Amino acid sequence: MAHQGKKYTEAKSKVDRTKRYELEEGVKLLLETHYTKFDEGVDLAIRLGVDPKKSDQMVRGTVVLPHGTGKKVRVLVFAKGVKEKDALDAGADYAGADELIEKISKGWLDFDKAIATPDMMGSVSKLGKILGPRGLMPNPKVGTVTFELERAIKEIKAGKVEFKVEKAGIVHVTVGKVSFGFERLLENTKTLLEVILRAKPPTSKGVYFRSIALSTTMGPGIKINPLYARNVLKQ
Protein backbone atom coordinates (compact mmCIF):
# COMPACT_ATOMS: atom_id res chain seq x y z
CA MET A 1 0.00 0.00 0.00
CA ALA A 2 2.89 2.36 0.75
CA HIS A 3 4.17 1.88 -2.80
CA GLN A 4 0.72 2.68 -4.21
CA GLY A 5 0.52 5.70 -1.92
CA LYS A 6 3.82 7.00 -3.25
CA LYS A 7 2.66 6.65 -6.86
CA TYR A 8 -0.60 8.43 -6.08
CA THR A 9 1.29 11.26 -4.37
CA GLU A 10 3.57 11.60 -7.42
CA ALA A 11 0.55 11.72 -9.74
CA LYS A 12 -1.20 14.25 -7.51
CA SER A 13 1.90 16.49 -7.46
CA LYS A 14 1.59 16.93 -11.25
CA VAL A 15 -1.91 18.39 -10.87
CA ASP A 16 -2.25 22.06 -9.93
CA ARG A 17 -5.18 22.02 -7.47
CA THR A 18 -5.76 25.75 -7.92
CA LYS A 19 -6.03 25.59 -11.71
CA ARG A 20 -9.05 25.05 -13.95
CA TYR A 21 -7.66 23.26 -17.00
CA GLU A 22 -8.98 23.53 -20.54
CA LEU A 23 -10.61 20.24 -21.52
CA GLU A 24 -7.89 19.15 -23.98
CA GLU A 25 -5.20 19.99 -21.42
CA GLY A 26 -7.08 18.13 -18.69
CA VAL A 27 -7.46 14.94 -20.74
CA LYS A 28 -3.73 14.96 -21.59
CA LEU A 29 -2.84 15.44 -17.92
CA LEU A 30 -5.21 12.65 -16.92
CA LEU A 31 -3.38 10.24 -19.22
CA GLU A 32 0.03 11.47 -18.04
CA THR A 33 -0.84 10.90 -14.37
CA HIS A 34 -2.21 7.37 -14.90
CA TYR A 35 0.03 5.07 -12.87
CA THR A 36 -1.73 1.73 -12.31
CA LYS A 37 -1.13 -1.43 -14.34
CA PHE A 38 -4.82 -2.02 -15.05
CA ASP A 39 -7.02 -0.22 -17.56
CA GLU A 40 -8.75 2.33 -15.34
CA GLY A 41 -12.14 3.82 -16.04
CA VAL A 42 -12.35 7.56 -16.66
CA ASP A 43 -15.09 9.45 -14.82
CA LEU A 44 -16.58 12.89 -15.29
CA ALA A 45 -18.26 14.69 -12.37
CA ILE A 46 -20.27 17.83 -13.09
CA ARG A 47 -21.83 20.01 -10.38
CA LEU A 48 -24.88 21.73 -11.84
CA GLY A 49 -26.69 24.90 -10.82
CA VAL A 50 -29.98 23.10 -10.21
CA ASP A 51 -32.06 22.08 -7.21
CA PRO A 52 -32.85 18.36 -7.74
CA LYS A 53 -35.51 18.55 -5.02
CA LYS A 54 -37.63 20.56 -7.47
CA SER A 55 -39.24 18.31 -10.08
CA ASP A 56 -38.83 20.96 -12.80
CA GLN A 57 -35.06 21.06 -12.19
CA MET A 58 -34.38 17.33 -12.46
CA VAL A 59 -31.67 16.66 -15.05
CA ARG A 60 -31.67 13.14 -16.45
CA GLY A 61 -31.34 11.50 -19.82
CA THR A 62 -29.22 9.25 -21.99
CA VAL A 63 -26.35 9.69 -24.40
CA VAL A 64 -24.73 7.30 -26.84
CA LEU A 65 -21.01 7.90 -26.43
CA PRO A 66 -19.32 7.73 -29.86
CA HIS A 67 -16.67 5.31 -28.58
CA GLY A 68 -18.69 3.52 -25.91
CA THR A 69 -17.50 3.10 -22.31
CA GLY A 70 -15.12 0.18 -22.81
CA LYS A 71 -17.30 -2.00 -20.61
CA LYS A 72 -19.05 -5.17 -21.74
CA VAL A 73 -22.69 -4.52 -20.86
CA ARG A 74 -24.92 -7.48 -20.01
CA VAL A 75 -28.47 -6.68 -21.13
CA LEU A 76 -31.57 -8.37 -19.75
CA VAL A 77 -34.96 -7.97 -21.45
CA PHE A 78 -38.33 -8.63 -19.85
CA ALA A 79 -40.47 -9.85 -22.74
CA LYS A 80 -42.63 -12.80 -23.72
CA GLY A 81 -43.60 -14.69 -26.85
CA VAL A 82 -42.16 -13.44 -30.12
CA LYS A 83 -40.65 -10.40 -28.37
CA GLU A 84 -38.52 -12.68 -26.20
CA LYS A 85 -37.07 -14.27 -29.35
CA ASP A 86 -36.61 -10.81 -30.94
CA ALA A 87 -34.63 -9.68 -27.90
CA LEU A 88 -32.26 -12.65 -28.03
CA ASP A 89 -31.84 -12.28 -31.81
CA ALA A 90 -30.94 -8.59 -31.27
CA GLY A 91 -28.14 -9.46 -28.85
CA ALA A 92 -29.76 -9.51 -25.40
CA ASP A 93 -27.82 -11.65 -22.92
CA TYR A 94 -31.00 -12.75 -21.16
CA ALA A 95 -34.68 -12.54 -22.11
CA GLY A 96 -37.83 -13.90 -20.57
CA ALA A 97 -40.84 -13.14 -18.43
CA ASP A 98 -42.09 -14.72 -15.19
CA GLU A 99 -39.12 -17.09 -14.81
CA LEU A 100 -36.67 -14.15 -14.87
CA ILE A 101 -38.80 -12.13 -12.46
CA GLU A 102 -38.84 -15.06 -10.03
CA LYS A 103 -35.07 -15.56 -10.39
CA ILE A 104 -34.38 -11.87 -9.64
CA SER A 105 -36.76 -11.90 -6.66
CA LYS A 106 -34.54 -14.64 -5.19
CA GLY A 107 -31.42 -12.49 -5.48
CA TRP A 108 -29.98 -13.13 -8.97
CA LEU A 109 -28.62 -9.89 -10.47
CA ASP A 110 -25.98 -10.90 -13.03
CA PHE A 111 -26.81 -8.15 -15.54
CA ASP A 112 -25.98 -4.47 -16.01
CA LYS A 113 -29.02 -3.02 -17.82
CA ALA A 114 -32.66 -4.02 -18.02
CA ILE A 115 -35.21 -3.32 -20.75
CA ALA A 116 -38.91 -4.22 -20.69
CA THR A 117 -41.72 -4.25 -23.20
CA PRO A 118 -44.62 -2.06 -21.94
CA ASP A 119 -46.92 -5.06 -21.43
CA MET A 120 -44.42 -6.52 -18.91
CA MET A 121 -44.22 -3.50 -16.62
CA GLY A 122 -47.14 -4.59 -14.43
CA SER A 123 -45.14 -7.67 -13.43
CA VAL A 124 -41.72 -5.99 -13.46
CA SER A 125 -42.92 -3.24 -11.11
CA LYS A 126 -43.08 -5.88 -8.34
CA LEU A 127 -39.25 -5.88 -8.46
CA GLY A 128 -39.10 -2.13 -7.75
CA LYS A 129 -37.45 -2.49 -4.33
CA ILE A 130 -34.74 -4.71 -5.82
CA LEU A 131 -34.09 -3.00 -9.17
CA GLY A 132 -34.82 0.63 -8.22
CA PRO A 133 -31.98 1.25 -5.73
CA ARG A 134 -29.51 -0.36 -8.17
CA GLY A 135 -30.56 1.80 -11.11
CA LEU A 136 -31.79 -1.26 -13.01
CA MET A 137 -35.50 -0.50 -13.22
CA PRO A 138 -36.70 -0.05 -16.84
CA ASN A 139 -37.92 3.51 -17.40
CA PRO A 140 -39.74 4.97 -20.43
CA LYS A 141 -37.96 8.33 -19.87
CA VAL A 142 -34.62 6.76 -20.80
CA GLY A 143 -35.95 4.46 -23.51
CA THR A 144 -35.78 1.18 -21.60
CA VAL A 145 -39.54 0.53 -21.68
CA THR A 146 -40.21 -0.06 -25.36
CA PHE A 147 -41.35 -2.49 -28.03
CA GLU A 148 -38.40 -1.34 -30.21
CA LEU A 149 -36.10 -3.88 -28.61
CA GLU A 150 -33.50 -4.14 -31.36
CA ARG A 151 -32.76 -0.41 -31.28
CA ALA A 152 -32.72 -0.23 -27.47
CA ILE A 153 -30.39 -3.24 -27.11
CA LYS A 154 -27.98 -2.09 -29.80
CA GLU A 155 -27.77 1.43 -28.34
CA ILE A 156 -26.90 0.08 -24.89
CA LYS A 157 -24.36 -2.36 -26.31
CA ALA A 158 -22.83 0.47 -28.39
CA GLY A 159 -22.23 2.67 -25.36
CA LYS A 160 -25.51 4.33 -24.38
CA VAL A 161 -25.24 5.60 -20.82
CA GLU A 162 -27.77 7.16 -18.49
CA PHE A 163 -27.16 10.25 -16.42
CA LYS A 164 -29.14 11.65 -13.52
CA VAL A 165 -28.38 14.51 -11.18
CA GLU A 166 -27.91 13.42 -7.57
CA LYS A 167 -29.24 15.16 -4.44
CA ALA A 168 -26.13 17.35 -4.20
CA GLY A 169 -26.61 18.57 -7.78
CA ILE A 170 -23.82 16.38 -9.20
CA VAL A 171 -23.88 14.16 -12.29
CA HIS A 172 -21.36 11.29 -12.43
CA VAL A 173 -20.74 9.47 -15.73
CA THR A 174 -18.04 7.07 -16.95
CA VAL A 175 -16.71 8.36 -20.29
CA GLY A 176 -14.33 5.53 -21.18
CA LYS A 177 -11.08 3.88 -20.19
CA VAL A 178 -7.46 5.05 -20.10
CA SER A 179 -6.68 2.74 -23.06
CA PHE A 180 -8.99 4.86 -25.26
CA GLY A 181 -6.26 7.46 -25.56
CA PHE A 182 -6.59 11.22 -26.00
CA GLU A 183 -8.82 11.58 -29.09
CA ARG A 184 -11.49 9.06 -28.11
CA LEU A 185 -11.70 10.26 -24.50
CA LEU A 186 -11.94 13.87 -25.67
CA GLU A 187 -14.73 13.08 -28.14
CA ASN A 188 -16.72 11.08 -25.57
CA THR A 189 -16.38 13.86 -22.98
CA LYS A 190 -17.41 16.59 -25.43
CA THR A 191 -20.45 14.56 -26.51
CA LEU A 192 -21.56 14.11 -22.90
CA LEU A 193 -21.09 17.80 -22.05
CA GLU A 194 -23.14 18.83 -25.08
CA VAL A 195 -26.05 16.56 -24.14
CA ILE A 196 -26.07 17.69 -20.49
CA LEU A 197 -25.90 21.32 -21.61
CA ARG A 198 -28.96 20.77 -23.82
CA ALA A 199 -30.75 19.18 -20.86
CA LYS A 200 -30.60 22.42 -18.85
CA PRO A 201 -34.03 23.00 -17.29
CA PRO A 202 -35.67 26.34 -18.28
CA THR A 203 -36.18 27.07 -14.57
CA SER A 204 -32.46 26.79 -13.79
CA LYS A 205 -31.17 30.32 -13.27
CA GLY A 206 -27.61 31.57 -13.05
CA VAL A 207 -24.54 29.44 -13.75
CA TYR A 208 -25.47 25.93 -14.95
CA PHE A 209 -22.03 24.28 -15.03
CA ARG A 210 -20.68 25.11 -11.56
CA SER A 211 -17.68 22.79 -11.60
CA ILE A 212 -16.32 19.91 -13.67
CA ALA A 213 -13.73 17.29 -12.71
CA LEU A 214 -12.11 14.41 -14.61
CA SER A 215 -10.50 11.47 -12.84
CA THR A 216 -9.39 7.90 -13.34
CA THR A 217 -10.54 5.16 -10.96
CA MET A 218 -7.44 5.50 -8.78
CA GLY A 219 -6.05 8.87 -9.85
CA PRO A 220 -6.41 12.45 -8.57
CA GLY A 221 -9.23 14.70 -9.74
CA ILE A 222 -8.44 17.25 -12.44
CA LYS A 223 -10.58 20.38 -12.43
CA ILE A 224 -11.84 21.51 -15.83
CA ASN A 225 -12.70 25.11 -16.65
CA PRO A 226 -16.55 25.29 -16.65
CA LEU A 227 -16.37 28.22 -19.09
CA TYR A 228 -15.10 25.80 -21.70
CA ALA A 229 -18.17 23.61 -21.29
CA ARG A 230 -20.51 26.59 -21.50
CA ASN A 231 -18.99 27.44 -24.87
CA VAL A 232 -19.04 23.88 -26.26
CA LEU A 233 -22.20 24.36 -28.31
CA LYS A 234 -21.02 27.70 -29.68
CA GLN A 235 -18.05 26.13 -31.46
Q: Is the dihedral of CA 119, 126, 167, 174 positive or negative?
A: negative
Q: Please name which of 165, 108, 114, 162 lies closest in space to residue 136, comparing C-alpha atoms.
A: 114
Q: Hey, what domains does the chain have and what are their CATH numbers? A: 16-69+160-234 (3.30.190.20), 75-158 (3.40.50.790)
CB atoms within 10 A of CB 71: 13
How much is the pTM? Answer: 0.77
Longest CA span, the chain: 59
List the pLDDT tens digit at each of the 235 positions of the chain.
444 577 767 667 767 788 899 999 999 999 988 877 889 899 999 999 999 888 899 898 889 899 988 888 899 999 999 999 999 999 999 999 999 999 999 999 999 999 999 999 999 999 999 999 998 999 998 899 999 999 999 999 888 888 999 888 999 999 999 999 999 999 999 999 999 999 999 988 888 999 999 999 888 889 999 987 666 655 4
Angle at 162 between CA 143 and CA 66, to 5 degrees: 95
pLDDT recorded at residue 5: 77
Contacts of 220 (CB under 8 A, 6+ apart): 8, 11, 12, 15, 33
Structural contact between residues 84 and 99, judged by C-beta atoms closer than 8 angstroms: no
* Helical residues (DSSP H) of the chain, grouped into ranges: 2-13, 23-32, 82-89, 98-105, 121-124, 128-131, 149-158, 181-198, 226-230
Structural contact between residues 87 and 96, judged by C-beta atoms closer than 8 angstroms: no
Cα Rg, the chain, nearest whole Å: 20
**208: DSSP letter:** S
pLDDT recorded at residue 217: 85
Strand order in the sheet with 75-78: 94-96, 75-78, 113-116
Q: Please name which of 211, 184, 234 lies closest in space to residue 44, comparing C-alpha atoms.
A: 211
pLDDT recorded at residue 8: 65
Q: β-strand 170-177 against 222-224: which pairing, if any?
A: unpaired
Cα 18 from Cα 106, distance rounded (Å): 50
